[in-house]
Structure 1
Amino acid sequence: MKGAIFTLILVLACISSSYAFWSTGHMIISRIAYEQLKEKNETLYNLIEEDIKLLQEFSVEVNHSFVEAAIWADDNKEIAFNQFTEWHYANTPVILPDFEGEILSQPQNVTWGINEMVKTLSYTKTPKFNNSLALSFSWRYLLHLIGDIHQPLHASTMFSAQFPDGDMGGNLFMIDYEAEDMNNLHSLWDASVDQYGSIWAPLSDDEWTSIGEFADSIMKMYPRESVQARVDITDPRVWAKESFNLAKEVVYSDLKSGDKITPEYLKIGRKAVNEQLAVGGYRLADALLNLAQKRYSESIIKQKLQSS
């Protein structure tokens, strides 16, 4: 094919700004799930958190492991623990008419990663060894990946004459915006379209309160019943498709690389991303509850309660 370009989307793993929703957005999604789970079944929530805490000493977490663990998968990138980086995104191509080339498929992606964690957590046969490590790892990655898949630039990348090798999920798509740390499209959407600031684990008391206030505000904007039809969709492939469509219709819209971000773009983008945070939090809560109901039999629950 004339002008054929073989693209390895794995190169996105080398871009540090590819962290989805930065830490604040991830913790907001996890805080929404935290509130939902504690309200629906606090016993199962406590059992999940107990498993998550098994790896707490290998993290920066202090008092709020369930919420803080949502960024553990990204924190590990700081030590070049990148074996699982492809799990964080599914870069379905947004192809402009002027693109000529060929795009290689991504062998593993965020939907694959979610499904693998679900398989592990759904397996309830007792092994001959202590499986606590695998369970804690799987809960932690599931917390993170369900957040990732709701960031539209973790479900898309643009291919065009300007970006023949792809724009790496918006990392190469430069923008004219007042915030110096948001100079490309990916970083703007990682920052929830410049909302909620940048909060990192471990959370101080004030930061824990702030994350709770953000989560509460988003749940009031988008109560569960208002987005229940979306929340009821349980297939991660559909979640990725939703994010891809959002990228085409809202994130990229009519923007060209280097364009100034307008107040109207911010308004539309913030509305879209807040719905994604709400839906992601509700879906995360339901996924965790469903897995916990399978994982913890009545006898296991009684045994754990007696030993606690």
Structure 2
Amino acid sequence: MIKLTLLLLFFIIFIKKNICWSDEPHMIVSAIAYYNLNDKEKRILNKIFLNYKEDRDFNDPITGALWADHIKSNEHSTVNPSDIRRYEILDIFNEWHFVQIPYNPTKMFLPHYYLNAHKGKYNAMGVLKYIYKILIQVQKKPRHGTYFSYNFYLRFFIHIFADIHQPLHTISFYNEHFPNGDKGGSDITLNYHGQIGKLHHLCDNIFYSRKKHWPHINPSILQKEAHVLMNMYPPEHFGSKLTIPSNKIDFIDSIANESHQLAIEHIYSHIPVRLVNKDMQIKVDQHFVINLKGILNKQMVLAGYRLSLYLKDIIANIPEDL
């Protein structure tokens, strides 16, 4: 009976393709970060989000974490725009959600571009470093920044910071069948007891255990879930991973490389790297799914704790006259 129940629970996970943490994980990361701010820091952050006049939605620090995904062009969204909001068309920022650190286990020849794509400015690592540096350099100077600029930077920073803790947002796998990379697992198909789905999408939804989408997420229930996860994984659980050096800009590289290594050790190590191609279905077992769900849940909590430390620095440098 237990085996049958587990099987039924996992049968629903293999749905459509997607390429970002789902709404629920993003809101949980932001809720954990927000909880770890002090009251003054929360008031400053609340004021900034409430004074964003360009969008009627996502105007608080927790739902604001979703804005960067909901301004993308996505006609396959589960949200009906005629009922809630219009389809957006801002695809120019799509590359900001990923950093394509190459994983080339078969040692095939890679062009210079693929070897160095992760070193550019217009990817997740580069954008996070840039935003953090800009906002720290304000140093509370009067008449610097607006509600628009702070909302733009903070919404992207909060969102992308969570993204780089999802291991498949930090890797591009290559073999002879994927000479241009596998799009962070979006081109790899898994088969779990006959149910089919794309690897990246399954990790974004934590194997469909975190599948809720805005606006159908109850904020109170979500905040309770964030507290449950913090009780399961308190700060001391992560040890030195929460010992962030004074140079927080360089530490962003360390975060991305850490996630990249998790992808190799816990995901690609279970994949036949020489043979896998777009037409192949990789069979995975219950152990693989349960282990990976645990890792992804811990990554959410770790992201929230770390994000709070970065936000404290940013908030401390916001001008008092904003």
TM-score range, shorter chain: 0.7 to 0.9
User: After the TM superposition, which of the residue ranges 101-110 and 89-98 deviates more from structure 2?
Assistant: 101-110
Q: Are the structure 2 counterparts of residues 56 and 26 from structure 1 closer, same or farther at C-alpha, using a change threshold of 3 Å? A: farther
Distance 1:183 1:60 in 2: 31
Alignment of 1:249 with 2:274, yes or no, is: no
**Alignment deviations for residues 39-87 of structure 1 (CA, whole Å, 9 cap, x no partner):** xx1111110121122226515337xx11101010110103221222222
Alpha-carbon contact 2:52-2:147 (below 8 Å) kept: no
Equivalent of residue 49 in structure 1, options 46, 51, 57: 46
**TM-score w.r.t. structure 2 length?**
0.78
Distance in 1 separating the partners of 2:256 and 2:49? 26
Runs of 5+ consecutive residues of structure 1 not aligned to the other structure: 1-15
Is 1:80 matched up with 2:89?
A: yes
Partner of 1:265: 288
Which ranges of structure 2 fall in alignment gaps of 5 or more residues? 1-16, 74-87
Question: Structure 1 residues 115, 259: closer, same or farther in 2, change over 3 A?
Answer: same
Aligned to 1:231: 242
Q: Over aligned residues, Cα RMSD in angstroms?
A: 2.4
State the shift of 1:163 in Å.
1.0
Q: Work out whether 1:170 is the aligned partner of 2:185.
A: yes
**CA distance, structure 2, for counterparts of residue 18 and residue 171 of structure 1:** 7
Residues 162-181 of structure 1: CA deviation (Å, up to 9, x unaligned): 2111101100011114797x
Distance 1:295 1:125, change over 3 A: closer
Aligned counterparts of 2:144 and 2:240: Cα–Cα separation in 1: 41
- Name which of 166, 169, 175 aligns with 1:154: 169
Aligned to 1:219: 230
Question: Normalising by the residue count of structure 1, what TM-score does the alignment of the two structures yield?
Answer: 0.82
Residues 51, 136 of structure 1: 8 Å contact kept: yes
2:61 corresponding residue in structure 1: 66
C-alpha contact 2:98 2:170 (8 A) present in aligned 1: yes
Secondary structure at the counterpart of residue 139 of structure 2: coil
Map residues 112-151 of structure 1 onto 2, 5 A cutoff: 112-122=126-136, 123-124=138-139, 126=141, 131-151=146-166
Identity of aligned residues (%): 26
The 2-side partners of 1:22 and 1:243 are apart by 17
Following superposition, the deviation at residue 119 of structure 1 comes to 2.2
2:233, 2:140 → 1: CA distance? Answer: 39
Kindly provide the CA deviation profile for residues 116-138 of structure 1, in whole angstroms up to 9, marking residues without a partner as x: 11123221364767622111111
Deviates more, 1:165-174 or 1:46-55: 46-55
Tell me the SS of whatever aligns to 2:58: coil
Q: Deviations over 1:103-156 (max 9, x none)?
A: 513232111111111123221364767622111111111110110110101100
